Structure 1
Amino acid sequence: MLKNYFIIGWRNLTKTRGYAFINITGLAIGMAVALLIGLWVLDEVNYNKSFKNHERLGLLYHHVTFGEQVLTINDVPAPIGNELKNNCADLEEVSMIAWAYEHVIGYQETTLIETGLFVEPQFADMFSVHMLEGSAKALKGVHAVLLSKTLAADLLGDNPVGKTIKSGNSEEMMVAGVFEDFPANSHFAEVRMLMPMAYYFSRGQQQKMDNWDNFDFECYVLLREHASFATAEPKIKNLLFEKASGAIKALNPNGILLPLEKWHLQATFKDGVNIGGQVRFVWMVGTIGVFVLLLACINFMNLSTARSEKRSKEVGVRKVMGSVRWQLVSQFLSESLMTVVISFVMALLMTALCLPLFNSMAEKKMIIPWTDLRFILISLVFMLVTSVLAGSYPALYLSSFNPVKVLKGVFRTGSSAGLPRKVMVVFQFTISIVLIIGTMVVFLQIQHAKNRPVGFDREGIVNMAVRTEELAKADYNTLRHELLSSGAATDMAKSDFPITGAMSDDVSLTWEGKDPTTRPLFGMNSCSHDFPKTNGFQFIEGRDFSREITSDSSAVIINEMAARLIASENPVNPKNPGQNVIGKKLKFADNKEREIIGVIKDQIRWTPFVNQTPHLYYINYRVKGHLTIRLNPNISTHEALKRTEAVIKKYDPLTPFDYKFQDDEYARLFKTEERVGRLATIFATLAIFISCIGIFGLAAFAVSQRTKEIGIRKVLGASALSLWKMLSGDFVRLVTISILVAVPLSYYLADEWLQQYDYRVELPWWVFAVTGALAILLTLLTVSYQSIKAAMVNPVKSLRSE
């Protein structure tokens, strides 16, 4: 019986190759999209689950209060780790970590720049570090280092354990072990070296070991077997508050533990409340994948039911011969399964071909797990579900025909039979239009943020991290003079942080007239005199730092937000806060006073989609930090960089010349939104393409059903244009209904999505108008081929075909 089903199904496919091609191709594209999205979603939800104890791992955060604003931070002081170990019985282990950053390491003639992490010895067991050679116990020492497999091979070649490498071109460290690279979808994917925390404190950082006011670390915890984050959290809530100084106490820090499973997708807080994070993108893209597959299934259902009259006599004969309905349903479902299997094989080939490009766009390293039993089982279930989803309605519909009417020739599919197909076409285009509008809104939001005033120059400027003592000890003025004399640059500056990077934070600033009950958060960056000029700061009041004015070594430049905050008490000119603050003095934590000499426009220092914060700049040449170089625009960038490298190499000959363009670093702030926008564009395009494939098939079938009518109309004098209008009109009406449904729905969804941004675009009306017009245009283009082809046929031939 089953063999007979598949034989008949195969004959039907080969007999109607055109419809079979449309069905199989549409399904294959939909399934390929679903596979790609499924792999991406699986990679996202499995983030960090490669760690053996992932269900018990957590990260310490604190809610801190600045006036009416509550921020959630994961920066903590070093001594909090021991306090947690000694005072929280729910914690099996605690590990302090210094923030990951890039290190210069060398062996013989090879020097590399790699990301390293200072950790405590227990880190290796907590995070399932798989040692390939040596032992993780070496982290108990001082001058030991563990290298990843990739780094060990690149730097040392064979037998790396026991070899001595140089860190920062000066300090020697012994390679005590090699570990398996962290998985690409893990929190530590970029980490290539693990170094003892003791080594970190030995490098002039001893004062941080017992300092409760220095927030330069992260704290990771491992719960005991039967403990929970809910029971452990109350025991750590007030720990920092009890131990810190008065300045920190005033921020009312409340400790919380964020489980490992939320680090990647649900680590965004607003006003002390977890509002999710990247999980919204996972849900959005996953939903798109489901809908694209559903659109492909709708094509199958529409074409199968549209051709019902072609199969009606077959159904009638089978029923007369004794077939019961469930047998007919089984037959049509088996045909559906055969089509789905063929489509799935094509989808796998498409997925394999597209995966490298998809990985590049999504910044992933996904593979198709061909040999994984779970993947095979999921694939079988996926095919079965898709075949039932695509074939159930046609099977039930076709098997319901009355055999007497069919065999008498009086059976006709009335207007009511076409209603479900029309509903499904409306559904298809509604989803496609919503996806197109959503994609346009994403790009409008990105462009809106890009058009936001930045407050500094980006073109022709490069940043370099000062990673070695050789470069740090070089006389700044001499280095600057040589670089400018070489013609490579027109200006150069030094700073603690680059303009596109983070800042240090301070809540202890005071000034005359300040409300003593408030502790506003200020971002701070120490720099050389040349920093504002090199970066093209835009002054709205006062002046820049000057080397000619000695007192400028104790001066500060603040942004507009800081000026408004400082001038809020007794303002001289409410409309121009800059005038109110020039000459005022700010008192720092060390009781040193600095005079405000200039006010600059607000700058975008972190993500452009949120409100920025008050910040300031002050002079300090002792920082190691970064160099900012404005390249000479009168020579080529290649030549300017070549001359810059020659100057830098005089002071730091062993370190690779590593730099970052300021405009590239600024562009990275849009990375997540642009990645989602690119993916959404592809999937929206495929959705509308699949919908058009379906309409193309239905149009072809509609024309074949009305061949005699078209011939009669032409004999009676109907023009090709009137026939085109007649054949196209039905589909245009359906798409128009889709537009009317999609516009309010897409407006609601887009508005909800935009609410996550503090700085967001207003939805323009033309987005909906353009999308609607595009949908109608694509429909006309899709249907017109069949309509014009039918309208141009000789009516004699059309009437003979009947």
Structure 2
Amino acid sequence: MFKLNLKIALRNLWRNRGITSINVGGLAIALAAFILVVLYFTYETSFDKTNPNYNNIYVVGRIEPDFKTNYTSPPLAKAIKQNFPEVENAGITKRGFFEFTMKNGNNTLFAKNFMQADFNAAKILDLKPTGGLEKPAGVADRLSYLSEENMKVLFPNKTDNKPEMVGMGPSNSGITSKINGSIANNLHSNITFDGISIGNEIGQGENYGYNNYTTYIQVKPGTDVANLEQKITDLYRKELLKGETDQKTIEEIKGVSTFLDPLANLHLRPKAGNDAPYKILIALFVLGILILVIACINFTNLSIAQATKRAKEVGVKKVMGAYRFQLTTQFLTEIFIQCFVATILALTIAELALPYFNNLFQVNLSIWNIENNLFWQLPLILCLITFVAGTYPALVLSGFKPALVLKGNFSTSKQSSWLRNGLLIFQFSIAVIFIIGLFIINAQLKYMRTQDLGFTANQVVYIKNISLFHKPEKFAPVRDKILKIQGIKSVTVATGVPDGSENGGNGYTVNGVQKSIDFVDVDFDYFETLDIKLKEGRFFSKSFSTDTTNSVVINESAVAKYGIKNPVGQTIRGCNIDYKIVGVAKDFKAQGFESAVQPTIYAIKNPCGNSKTKIMVKIEENRMADALAALKAQWPQINPQDGEDFRYEFLDELYGKLFKKQEQLQSVFFAAALLTIFIAILGLFAFAKYITNGRIKEIAVRKILGASDIQIFKLINSSFFIMVLVANVISWPVAYILTKKWLETFAYRIDLPVLPFVSSATITILLAVITVSIQAKKAVKANPVDALKYE
């Protein structure tokens, strides 16, 4: 019986190969898009899952009155381990804050991310050097490892895992360091590095004021995490209060707390960070599901539309004794065959599209990798789409009554008609949402690219270096040598560049009011190099000797946060120094458009700040190439500590990376809008063909009675026009809510425009009218005699 059903199914599919091709093709394209989305979703949600203690690892963070951060101090981990038996292990790590060079002969490595970790953190994070994780012999000893990839850069012919000596810095520095071996760098993890230094302890001698470490704890299974979180908060406050007598400080400490963030959260939605990547991933996954649903709707619609052609077949089979269950099985077999072929085609399309997808999202996904779970997900998806797309058509086809269909009195029910129309409206509603979303994303990106940032990144070159310029007099010789090169307009050095990265934060007091604000330690010409505008007062100048001791510039947001009136000349206290405010800088979007400008203080002297290492040079546009060539040639003399290792990045390119996620979203929505429109139009085309074929005789009679071609076109298009119009009306409120929510993720955004809603209606109505008219043209131009001659 199965063999017979299979033969009938293949015959029917071949006889209706046009519609079969549309069904299979549309489903294959949608399924290919869904496969790519599932691959990416699986990849993004499985970071660090190879860690055997994945579910029991937490980051300990701090909650201050003004901010939340993952950075804590070194003594906290040891205190947690000693006081709470439910904590199996606790350790700390610290990231390097600048890039340095490592050399082996002519082989050079630029280590951008060299991490420190204590032995306990290495165990918690499951770090695995080749040969196994070893505990350093002494308290102060360190074992240094390079990632396997970087070890090959320095030692391309190395076949053993013996320790090696490498040069640090320029060739003439004479500084060497021991590399104990290589270590696997799991790129599918939140803890990645170029190299790592592991010690028994790190951060010795640093107290609770040094909050630049990350604390990891591993708890016992079944631990009450909320209760532990509160206990750690109590412990942390207790430690901070030791020896403290100032009542105001005591009250401030009582407002400080801690939190525990699961390792599972760190990649997509950290508590002390931005959860935009998580929202984008969920949106992408929903988008993939909707595209697949639209394709399934097409399948259902076309299958129901073909019902009349299969009615007599069903009638004959029922007269011959076939049961409804057997007929349902037969039709589901046909549908399964189509879905199976669509799945094979989808894998082919996905494989062809994968390089472009990988390039867009900067990942390295592969369909033929058992770790991506497609081996069990695809069969499940195949069965699911067969059930979703095929169940109702199979029940409709198997439910025909023989007495009616064999007399020729069969017509599809109103229920089927309502379902077809409803599904078509749903399809176009989704397409409209994607079109509106695409227009609004484009508008926001255009706004971001054209809006005044408050500073000028063009023609500014960020030069990386390893020298620490704490004082202006140390940087002055470097500045003077750089300025002698033709084409260079200004030079400065600071603790950070405006590329979206976070600045440090400290507590500062104005008029008895203490607030935590960002700090950036700078040198002369910082504001001039970046073309930052002055609101009032002045910027730093060599003409004022106090500028290198106790003068600061604050931005507009800091003035607003403290509520200062006439800020120039007033005192702001921080790091045990009474600073004089000499100027107010206009706000500029250093962190991009998603975050509001942070209240910030700029100082040349800041004992509590970070090292000034980031050199910025403003160069004339028409002399850029010559100036960079001269800088490279003269760098060993300009900055001997860096020697021949001159390297740079353009600041506008660094800042442009802040738009990457939104550009990805734009590309995805563009592809989704095209796909949904294509699939919807594909289904509409085939659907219109069946509707038109069913009205051939009606059209012939109308033409004989004098109806014009325009009137007939209008008649055929009217129902589709209404359905597309209804789809727009339904989708507008949904699109409005979704796009408004998305725009709210930006601190600086456009007002929600009306044009995308009008444009989506125009586009979908025009496409529907053109599609239906093309299909109706054959029926309109046909000779009425051909349709009526057999009557």
TM-score, normalised on structure 1?
0.90
Q: For 2:374 and 2:199, locate their aligned partners in 1 and report how far apart those are by CA, in whole Å.
A: 41
> How far apart are 1:160 and its partner, in Å?
4.9
Partner of 1:117: 115
Which stretch shows the higher mean deviation, 424-433 or 120-129? 120-129
Q: For 1:248 and 1:385, locate their aligned partners in 2 and report how far apart those are by CA, in whole Å.
A: 61
* Matched ranges for 1:554-593 at <5 A: 554-568=550-564, 571=565, 580-590=566-576, 592-593=577-578
Instruction: Report the 3-state secondary structure (helix = DSSP H, G, I; strand = E; otherwise coil) of the residue aligned with 1:735.
Output: helix
Partner of 1:27: 27
Q: Tell whether the 8 Å contact from 2:87 to 2:219 is kept in structure 1 after alignment.
A: yes
* Matched ranges for 1:103-182 at <5 A: 103-114=100-111, 115-133=113-131, 135-138=133-136, 142-157=141-156, 158=158, 159-169=160-170, 171-182=175-186
> How far apart are 1:727 and its partner, in Å?
2.0
Which stretch shows the higher mean deviation, 530-539 or 484-493? 484-493
Aligned length: 769
Q: Tell whether the 8 Å contact from 1:76 to 1:215 is kept in structure 2 after alignment.
A: yes
Q: For 1:703 and 1:349, locate their aligned partners in 2 and report how far apart those are by CA, in whole Å.
A: 34
Partner of 1:601: 586
Question: How far does the alpha carbon of each residue in 1:56-97 deviate from its partner, in whole angstroms, 9 at most, with x for none?
Answer: 11101121114xxxx211111121121112112111111111
Which stretch shows the higher mean deviation, 536-545 or 720-729? 720-729
Partner of 1:749: 738
Q: For 1:750 and 1:373, locate their aligned partners in 2 and report how far apart those are by CA, in whole Å.
A: 31
Q: For 2:374 and 2:364, locate their aligned partners in 1 and report how far apart those are by CA, in whole Å.
A: 17
> How far apart are 1:312 and its partner, in Å?
0.5
Q: For 1:18 and 1:770, locate their aligned partners in 2 and report how far apart those are by CA, in whole Å.
A: 32
Q: Tell whether the 8 Å contact from 2:358 to 2:365 is kept in structure 1 after alignment.
A: yes
Partner of 1:422: 421
Partner of 2:95: 99
Q: 1:628 aligns with which of 616, 621, 629?
A: 616
* Residue identity opposite 2:196 in structure 1: L
Alignment of 1:254 onto 2:228: no
Q: Tell whether the 8 Å contact from 2:87 to 2:218 is kept in structure 1 after alignment.
A: yes
Partner of 2:654: 665
* Residue identity opposite 1:502 in structure 2: E
Q: For 1:473 and 1:583, locate their aligned partners in 2 and report how far apart those are by CA, in whole Å.
A: 23
Q: Tell whether the 8 Å contact from 1:268 to 1:277 is kept in structure 2 after alignment.
A: no
Q: For 2:780 and 2:106, locate their aligned partners in 1 and report how far apart those are by CA, in whole Å.
A: 77
RMSD value, Cα = 2.7
* Matched ranges for 1:461-476 at <5 A: 461-468=460-467, 476=475
Q: Tell whether the 8 Å contact from 1:269 to 1:276 is kept in structure 2 after alignment.
A: no
Q: For 1:100 and 1:713, locate their aligned partners in 2 and report how far apart those are by CA, in whole Å.
A: 81
> How far apart are 1:796 and its partner, in Å?
4.3
Q: Tell whether the 8 Å contact from 1:134 to 1:178 is kept in structure 2 after alignment.
A: no
Alignment of 1:325 onto 2:324: yes
Cα separation, partners in 2 of 1:596 and 1:361, compared to 1, 3 Å = same
> How far apart are 1:399 and its partner, in Å?
0.7
Question: How far does the alpha carbon of each residue in 1:629-663 deviate from its partner, in whole angstroms, 9 at most, with x for none?
Answer: 1122122x433322222232433565543222211
Question: How far does the alpha carbon of each residue in 1:324-361 deviate from its partner, in whole angstroms, 9 at most, with x for none?
Answer: 10111100101000000000000000111111111111
Q: Tell whether the 8 Å contact from 1:560 to 1:602 is kept in structure 2 after alignment.
A: yes
Alignment of 1:674 onto 2:669: no
Q: Tell whether the 8 Å contact from 1:558 to 1:616 is kept in structure 2 after alignment.
A: yes
- Where structure 1 has 5 or more consecutive residues not aligned to the other structure, the ranges are 572-579
Partner of 1:575: none
Cα separation, partners in 2 of 1:313 and 1:76, compared to 1, 3 Å = same
Alignment of 1:764 onto 2:763: no
> How far apart are 1:473 and its partner, in Å?
12
* Residue identity opposite 2:264 in structure 1: E
* Residue identity opposite 1:617 in structure 2: Y
Question: How far does the alpha carbon of each residue in 1:343-395 deviate from its partner, in whole angstroms, 9 at most, with x for none?
Answer: 00000001111111111112222211455695323221211111111111100
Alignment of 1:615 onto 2:600: yes
* Residue identity opposite 1:329 in structure 2: T
Q: For 2:528 and 2:103, locate their aligned partners in 1 and report how far apart those are by CA, in whole Å.
A: 36
Q: For 1:277 and 1:224, locate their aligned partners in 2 and report how far apart those are by CA, in whole Å.
A: 31
Q: For 1:8 and 1:260, locate their aligned partners in 2 and report how far apart those are by CA, in whole Å.
A: 55
> How far apart are 1:406 and its partner, in Å?
0.9
Q: For 1:560 and 1:174, locate their aligned partners in 2 and report how far apart those are by CA, in whole Å.
A: 48
Instruction: Report the 3-state secondary structure (helix = DSSP H, G, I; strand = E; otherwise coil) of the residue aligned with 2:54.
Output: coil
* Residue identity opposite 1:611 in structure 2: A
> How far apart are 1:10 and its partner, in Å?
1.1
Q: 2:188 aligns with which of 185, 188, 210?
A: 185
Q: Tell whether the 8 Å contact from 2:522 to 2:612 is kept in structure 1 after alignment.
A: no
> How far apart are 1:766 and its partner, in Å?
1.9
Q: For 1:765 and 1:754, locate their aligned partners in 2 and report how far apart those are by CA, in whole Å.
A: 15
* Residue identity opposite 2:62 in structure 1: H
Give the share of equivalent positions with the same residue, in percent: 26
Instruction: Report the 3-state secondary structure (helix = DSSP H, G, I; strand = E; otherwise coil) of the residue aligned with 1:315.
Output: helix
Question: How far does the alpha carbon of each residue in 1:395-439 deviate from its partner, in whole angstroms, 9 at most, with x for none?
Answer: 001111110111111212255432210010011111121222233
Which stretch shows the higher mean deviation, 581-590 or 74-83? 581-590
Cα separation, partners in 2 of 1:86 and 1:709, compared to 1, 3 Å = same
Q: Tell whether the 8 Å contact from 1:229 to 1:259 is kept in structure 2 after alignment.
A: no
Cα separation, partners in 2 of 1:122 and 1:474, compared to 1, 3 Å = farther
Q: For 2:68 and 2:371, locate their aligned partners in 1 and report how far apart those are by CA, in whole Å.
A: 40
Cα separation, partners in 2 of 1:716 and 1:248, compared to 1, 3 Å = farther
Q: For 2:443 and 2:236, locate their aligned partners in 1 and report how far apart those are by CA, in whole Å.
A: 43
* Residue identity opposite 1:686 in structure 2: L
Instruction: Report the 3-state secondary structure (helix = DSSP H, G, I; strand = E; otherwise coil) of the residue aligned with 2:360.
Output: helix
* Residue identity opposite 1:714 in structure 2: K
Q: For 2:694 and 2:535, locate their aligned partners in 1 and report how far apart those are by CA, in whole Å.
A: 74
Question: How far does the alpha carbon of each residue in 1:726-771 deviate from its partner, in whole angstroms, 9 at most, with x for none?
Answer: 2222211110010111111222233334444444433222221111
Cα separation, partners in 2 of 1:469 and 1:493, compared to 1, 3 Å = closer
Q: Tell whether the 8 Å contact from 2:503 to 2:520 is kept in structure 1 after alignment.
A: yes
Q: For 2:644 and 2:119, locate their aligned partners in 1 and report how far apart those are by CA, in whole Å.
A: 29
Instruction: Report the 3-state secondary structure (helix = DSSP H, G, I; strand = E; otherwise coil) of the residue aligned with 2:621.
Output: coil
Q: Tell whether the 8 Å contact from 2:492 to 2:526 is kept in structure 1 after alignment.
A: yes
* Residue identity opposite 1:467 in structure 2: I
Partner of 2:16: 16
Question: How far does the alpha carbon of each residue in 1:605-652 deviate from its partner, in whole angstroms, 9 at most, with x for none?
Answer: 2242232222121224994420011122122x4333222222324335
Instruction: Report the 3-state secondary structure (helix = DSSP H, G, I; strand = E; otherwise coil) of the residue aligned with 1:528.
Output: coil
Q: For 1:671 and 1:454, locate their aligned partners in 2 and report how far apart those are by CA, in whole Å.
A: 17
Cα separation, partners in 2 of 1:373 and 1:656, compared to 1, 3 Å = closer
Alignment of 1:713 onto 2:702: yes
Q: For 2:252 and 2:447, locate their aligned partners in 1 and report how far apart those are by CA, in whole Å.
A: 37
Q: For 2:219 and 2:534, locate their aligned partners in 1 and report how far apart those are by CA, in whole Å.
A: 52
* Matched ranges for 1:482-561 at <5 A: 482-500=481-499, 501-507=501-507, 509-511=508-510, 514=511, 516=512, 518-553=513-548, 554-561=550-557
Partner of 1:577: none
* Matched ranges for 1:408-419 at <5 A: 408-419=407-418
* Residue identity opposite 1:675 in structure 2: Q
Q: For 1:428 and 1:741, locate their aligned partners in 2 and report how far apart those are by CA, in whole Å.
A: 11
- Where structure 2 has 5 or more consecutive residues not aligned to the other structure, the ranges are none
> How far apart are 1:560 and its partner, in Å?
1.1
Q: For 1:703 and 1:64, locate their aligned partners in 2 and report how far apart those are by CA, in whole Å.
A: 69
Partner of 2:59: 59
Question: How far does the alpha carbon of each residue in 1:8-40 deviate from its partner, in whole angstroms, 9 at most, with x for none?
Answer: 111112111210110000110111111111111
* Matched ranges for 1:7-406 at <5 A: 7-66=7-66, 71-101=67-97, 102-114=99-111, 115-133=113-131, 135-138=133-136, 142-157=141-156, 158=158, 159-169=160-170, 171-182=175-186, 184-189=187-192, 191-197=193-199, 209-244=205-240, 250=252, 252-268=255-271, 278-371=277-370, 374-406=373-405
* Residue identity opposite 1:628 in structure 2: M
Q: For 1:453 and 1:793, locate their aligned partners in 2 and report how far apart those are by CA, in whole Å.
A: 61
Question: How far does the alpha carbon of each residue in 1:113-151 deviate from its partner, in whole angstroms, 9 at most, with x for none?
Answer: 122111011233212223334644359663531122111
* Residue identity opposite 2:437 in structure 1: G
Instruction: Report the 3-state secondary structure (helix = DSSP H, G, I; strand = E; otherwise coil) of the residue aligned with 1:657.
Output: coil
* Residue identity opposite 1:163 in structure 2: E
